[in-house]
Amino acid sequence: MLGANPTANSWSNSGLDLHLLVEPGSGRRVGVEQALREAIRDGRLAAGERLPPSRTLAVELGLSRGTVSAAYDQLIAEGLLIARQGSGTRVAEAVATPGPVTPPIVGSPKPAAPRHNLRAGSPDISRFPTTAWLGAARKALGAAPADAFGYGDPCGRIELRSALADYLGRTRGVRATPDRIIVTTGVQQALALIGTVLTASGTTAIAMEDPYIPSFRDTVRAAGPVVRPLPVDGDGARVNLLGTGEFDGVTAAVVTPSHQFPIGSTLSPARRHYLADWARAGRLVIEDDYDGEFRYDRQPVGAIQGIAPDHVVYLGTASKTLGPGLRLAWMVLPPHLVGPVAEAKRLADHHSETLGQLTLAELITSHAYDRHIRASRLRYRRRRDLLADRLKPRAGRPLTGFALSGIAAGLHALIRLEPAGLTEAEVLSRAREYGLALEGLSGMWLSHEARPDRPQGLVVGFAAPSESAYPAALDALVRALSWSSNPR
């Protein structure tokens, strides 16, 4: 019986699982030698890796200990293995393993990665609150019940939903209870789930701000509805158009009222009330509050959900406050949508990752999340101010032909290019020459056709670079915008 011989099953707790394929037809010792050589040379056994004792490997392979010992001795003689008293047999440090095969270059070589990054959409991930996150994770895991490590509620962990209900009510004016919140892997997944549910209930057309994030539009369209472009101006989305014939059949609208992306405007009070009244007439508003925590020149604008909670889906995310790598976002839903969206979430991926939810819940309830956001707000405001200062015209640096806007809030700004100045294509081309990653406004319209009523511009994300990298990124931006080909 296997369990009767302790030596026979000692391989199961030897500390190293080792898969060796001994070719049939070869001598037993030769076969073990060749299998070990291949494992070393293809990198499966790394330099310095400790091998199982000869007795243990012999039991696993069904061979005699002498056969395995002889194979080890031969590879030691070849310099592939080393044996030291008290430390066992290891792969020699000097063993050279082949590097990855580099395919031949066909056509032009791949361009080098940009040296500077001013793309919008990400915070400074180098300032992720690692210490606070680790502390919260330890506390959360120490208190986690056993069921936290099994399959869970599609709506998300109750700990996080409870923490979010309190936090969103306190900071964003959202009227939420834990049973109305569903945790998702991002705003994009939230839009996909809502689009699927609305399509199943008969929705055929959804209005979305124009310009907006192209991938978000694609997500909604993939769920089924037709997307109708809702124009945006200095007072936010022109929601009064929703009541006109152009939007007949539209029963839902996706908006970014606190800080429109990418224009940067805030929905005016009159339009906020119009939109809420439009929703109360049997329609639905989907409020993307992606960076509502970051306002610099006045108090934060409360969420529209707070004035029409039964007709607004509120979307929030940790991607801008902490980092997109966490894949944590949330929806606050009207009661009639909770069940259908939860079922759509279950069918999509059952539920979001659990450990991050527990950690974020602890971070929020301990108020470490608030402290991190306050510190981030001060840091990003300084960056915004530096951006505005650097773009002022100076002697010898003819910076004209553009205007900076959308900087009262958020993590990005819009540089509108005037018709008499450099074109968007010219600035983006110059930016690439200076190693700067930058996005243009043109690619964010639903239709990419050039029209006189559409300004050209640059969407500048001033949060993404690290503190040390930010000044050099601004230098590259200034050079790209300058009329001079060789600015000092």
CA distance readout (Å), 233 to 32, 207, 437, 452, 453: 73, 16, 26, 14, 11
Query: pTM of this prediction?
Result: 0.81
Q: What residues does each domain of the chain span?
A: 2-91, 128-371, 373-481
Confidence at 295, pLDDT banded by 50, 70, 90: very high
Tell me, which fold does domain 373-481 have in CATH? Aspartate Aminotransferase, domain 1 (3.90.1150)
What is the chain's length? Answer: 488
Residue pLDDT, tens place only, 161-173: 999 999 999 999 9
Q: Considering the domain 2-91 in this protein, what is its CATH number?
A: 1.10.10.10
Mean pLDDT over 64-79 rounds to: 87
Using alpha carbons only, give the angle 187, 190, 193 rounded to the nearest 5 degrees.
155
| 303, 306, 309, 314: CA torsion to nearest 10 | 20
Mean pLDDT over 352-356 rounds to: 95
Provide the 8-state DSSP code for 68: H
Q: Which one has a higher pLDDT value, 451 or 26?
A: 451
Query: What's the mean pLDDT when you consider all of the chain?
Result: 88
**Nearest Cα to Cα of residue 57 among 43, 47, 41, 71:** 71
Report the pLDDT value the prediction gives residue 357, as an integer from 0 to 100. Answer: 97
Report the pLDDT value the prediction gives residue 45, as an integer from 0 to 100. Answer: 86
Q: Would you call the peptide bond into 269 cis, given omega within 30 degrees of 0 as the criterion?
A: no
Q: Is the pLDDT of residue 98 over 90?
A: no
Residue pLDDT, tens place only, 320-348: 999 999 999 999 999 999 999 999 999 99
Confidence at 127, pLDDT banded by 50, 70, 90: very high
Q: How many CB atoms lie within 10 A of CB 10?
A: 15
Tokens 């705003």 belong to 187
Report the pLDDT value the prediction gives residue 109, as an integer from 0 to 100. Answer: 52
Query: DSSP 3-state helix, strand, coil percentages of the chain (rounded to 5)?
Result: 40, 15, 40
Q: Is the pLDDT of residue 301 over 60?
A: yes
Percent of the chain's residues with pLDDT above 90: 68
Report the pLDDT value the prediction gives residue 59, as an integer from 0 to 100. Answer: 84
Report the pLDDT value the prediction gives residue 7, as an integer from 0 to 100. Answer: 43
Report the pLDDT value the prediction gives residue 26, as an integer from 0 to 100. Answer: 59
Give one DSSP letter per residue of 150-212, joined into a string.
Answer: S---TT--HHHHHHHHHHHHHHH-----GGGEEEES-HHHHHHHHHHHHHHTT--EEEEEES-
Q: Which one has a higher pLDDT value, 62 or 11?
A: 62
Tell how far CA 372 is from the center of its chain: 18
Residue pLDDT, tens place only, 364-413: 999 999 999 999 999 999 999 999 999 987 665 667 789 999 999 999 99
Confidence at 94, pLDDT banded by 50, 70, 90: low
Q: Is the pLDDT of residue 8 over 90?
A: no
Report the pLDDT value the prediction gives residue 10, as an integer from 0 to 100. Answer: 47
Q: Which one has a higher pLDDT value, 401 or 450?
A: 401
In CATH terms, are 128-371 and 373-481 the same topology?
no
Confidence at 46, pLDDT banded by 50, 70, 90: confident
Tokens 């990005």 belong to 412
Which range of 5-14, 29-38, 214-223 scores highest in mean pLDDT? It is: 214-223
At residue 310, the 3 state secondary structure works out as coil
Q: Is the pLDDT of residue 144 over 70?
A: yes
Rounded to an integer, what distance in angstroms lies between the CA atom of residue 236 and that of residue 89? Answer: 69
At residue 237, the 3 state secondary structure works out as strand
Q: Which one has a higher pLDDT value, 169 or 61?
A: 169
Mean pLDDT over 128-153 rounds to: 95
Q: Considering the domain 128-371 in this protein, what is its CATH number?
A: 3.40.640.10
Report the pLDDT value the prediction gives residue 396, as an integer from 0 to 100. Answer: 59
Confidence at 117, pLDDT banded by 50, 70, 90: very high
- Residue 4 identity (one-letter amino acid): A
Burial 425-461 (b: 16+ CB within 10 A, else e): eebbebbeebbbbbbbbbebbbeeeeeeebbbbbbbb
Q: Is the pLDDT of residue 3 over 50?
A: no
